[in-house]
Structure 1
Amino acid sequence: MLRRVAVSIVFVGFFSLFAQLLPTQSQAQDRRQNAPGAFDFYVLALSWSPSYCATSRERRSDGRADPVQCGARPYSFVVHGLWPQYEKGFPSYCQVPAPRLNRGIVSTMLDLMPSPRLVFHEWDRHGTCSGLAPRAYFETVRKARAVVKIPDRFLELPDTLTVTPDEVRDAFIKANGGLGEGGVAVNCSSRYLSEVRICMTREFGFRDCPEIVKRACRRDKVVMPPVRGGASKAEAGPDNAAAVTAGDKAPQAGPQISPQVSVSAN
């Protein structure tokens, strides 16, 4: 009896030691975790700006929204970010402190990303994981955005629209050849459509991303608040997404960082 107990203890101890030496899936991922440039694909996150403004007003006691993103300029879909991804999981804050981001670069991105603080945040959290210098990373953001065509019905939305997440997904698929159901996720925040996430190869081709799609919105219906006064030039599609005039850019003073930077995945 004692011999069997001793053998069992030795076996359990050996098995435990052996198990500790085997890398788990998370440990195996950690071998390249946060290594700049070591990732599998990108997610381009496009936020529906009117939803952000609606929720911003609802959260504030004075009923006023972010004056930068929710002012006179009629933002519709804006770039939340371009996120390096692993097949499972994602890197973040790959260089701490992050290389300094020139404010001139920030100002050039305000046609696509309406908050300077959002631009800084996205560089610190995601851009540093791209393996690119700041200017090259934001040029990559612009190239990725230029690949995606916003469906016509969302360029100028004069009235509140209630849709299913699948309707929004299918509209993007129809507008973008090569994009399939497995490569696009529609996300929601409470009752509002918050953003559309599109998965891309490092060469800007569309690709499937099951880990992103499985976290998509599961609500039957979502609300898309209307665009303020018409579509912005930056949302007119790939041909016109490259630039807007300086007078069309969002104000740069006193921005509040968009809550989109606090979404669950990124």
Structure 2
Amino acid sequence: MRRVLGAALALLISSVSCGPGLADGEPAGEFDYYVLALSWSPNWCAIEGDAKQSPQCDPSEDHGWVMHGLWPQFHRGWPSYCTSAERNPPRHVTNSMADIMGTSGLAWYQWKKHGTCSGLSGEDYFATARAAYNSVTRPAVFRKLKDTVTLPAAVVEAAFLKANPTLEPDMLTITCRDGFIQEARVCLSKDLSPVPCGRDVIRDCRLTDAQFDPVR
């Protein structure tokens, strides 16, 4: 199997020329670990972003792997829309996240749904989210693609594992949507060290011919 994945990853390089959540309103700060969700922006744009005329999809933005979110997670299930006494992030903070999240609107939505569950203030949550994003190396090979390719989802996982030697296969999962590679999800402790994912998260896409669009 390793030889097959290695060969598929080499071919990709050579061609470059969760289960139900808990009820809303859980107490803030009560969770086991984080899930860092990295979305391949060109695929998201093809699936829904273009239809929404999202500014994230403008070629001038040059987005590749963007941060969908940093999600507090239980070993089974996850909290959302938590009751928190912490202050919301000011607008300049959510605006400043657009470089890695695509839009400030996504940043605000992620704060309301997930960030409130972290137990952190808005500023501290987004500082933590940026630190988490920077802690994971996004494989450079995908930014070098010139044309749309189809590939096994396992090849994307292999590329992330190669680029991040501290990650083990059970700390990472690749998801698909509508025939596209959707996201790479990395499980991190509260201090942002890689940890094994819970059963709700570690459900890899099994597609062998998932679509992968190049950076615009």
- Structure 2-normalised TM-score? 0.83
CA separation of 1:124 and 1:67: change in aligned 2, threshold 3 A: closer
Equivalent residue number for residue 194 of structure 2: 206
2:67 counterpart of 1:79: yes
| Pairwise CA RMSD | 2.2
Equivalent residue number for residue 70 of structure 1: 57
2:128 counterpart of 1:132: no
CA separation of 1:57 and 1:93: change in aligned 2, threshold 3 A: closer
2:180 counterpart of 1:216: no
Equivalent residue number for residue 5 of structure 2: none
Give per-residue Cα distances to partners, 1:119-152, cap 9 Å, x unaligned.
1100000000000000000000011011100112
Question: 1:95 Cα shift?
Answer: 2.4
Higher-Rg structure is 1
Query: Which is worse superposed, 197-206 or 217-226?
Result: 217-226
Aligned-partner Cα distance in 2 for 1:106–1:156:
29
- Gaps of at least 5 residues in structure 2 are 1-21
CA separation of 1:97 and 1:131: change in aligned 2, threshold 3 A: closer
3-state DSSP of counterpart to 1:44: strand
Give per-residue Cα distances to partners, 1:84-115, cap 9 Å, x unaligned.
00000000000279843311101211111111
Aligned-partner Cα distance in 1 for 2:166–2:181:
24
3-state DSSP of counterpart to 1:194: strand
2:46 counterpart of 1:54: yes
- Gaps of at least 5 residues in structure 1 are 1-28, 229-266
Equivalent residue number for residue 112 of structure 1: 100
Question: 1:57 Cα shift?
Answer: 6.8
Q: Counterpart of 1:144 in structure 2: which amino acid?
A: A
2:215 counterpart of 1:227: yes
* Contact persistence 1:182–1:213 (CA under 8 A): no
Q: Counterpart of 2:37 in structure 1: which amino acid?
A: A
- Structure 1-normalised TM-score? 0.68
Aligned-partner Cα distance in 2 for 1:85–1:57:
26
Question: 1:221 Cα shift?
Answer: 2.0
Superposition pairs for residues 1-266 of structure 1, below 5 Å? 34-56=26-48, 60=51, 66-71=53-58, 72-95=60-83, 99-228=87-216
Q: Counterpart of 1:69 in structure 2: which amino acid?
A: Q
Query: Which is worse superposed, 208-217 or 47-56?
Result: 208-217
